[in-house]
Structures are given as structure tokens and as C-alpha cells.
Amino acid sequence: MRTLDLRQQPMTLEELLQVASQESVLILAKDGSEFVLETANAFEREVAKLGQSEKFLAFLAERSQESGGTSLEAIERRLMQTE
């Protein structure tokens, strides 16, 4: 990851995008704020889109409330019984 300090070397948006097209960039803004700029791939775009979907977030919230599965303790007890 390359670091670009805009306090030391101002750049245009086009210049920043050109650098980011080659590698991830940590940008230090004039006010000291930090940003990461990198190319987005299809997976990242889908993650961002799903993160904004109220329907999908409601689905995840519902799933997180479901009980089920087997606890680690129950698995350990079963393993101890078979030994």
C-alpha cells in the first residue's frame, strides 16, 4: 500500500485515481484525515450493495435469532463418550 500525503504534495482526483489503479493508496488529507482508495472488484461491490439492502439485513437479523446447531460443549461430550 502506498501512502500519499496531500499535506506535502497536493494531487488532483484524476492523479489519485491513476495511482489507485495500480495499487491501494492510503491518503492523508490536508486536515489529517486518512482514507484508503483502491479498485473495487465485483465481490466488494456486491458486499456494499447487500449492506445497503434492508431486506437482506432483515433476513440476517432473523437468522441470527434462530436457535439451532450444536454447541461446542455438546460436541465435546459426544466425543468423550465415544472414546
- 12-53 confidence digits (pLDDT tens): 999 999 999 999 899 999 999 999 998 888 778 888 889 999
Q: How far apart are CA 26 and CA 67, in angstroms?
A: 42
Within 10 A of 38 (CB to CB), how many other CB atoms are there?
13
Whole-number pLDDT of residue 82: 77
Give the predicted TM-score (pTM) of the model.
Answer: 0.51
Where are the domains positioned within the chain? 2-37, 42-82
Q: How far apart are CA 26 and CA 23, in angstroms?
A: 10
For 8, the grid coordinates are: 506535502
- 44-75 confidence digits (pLDDT tens): 888 888 999 999 999 999 988 877 778 888 88
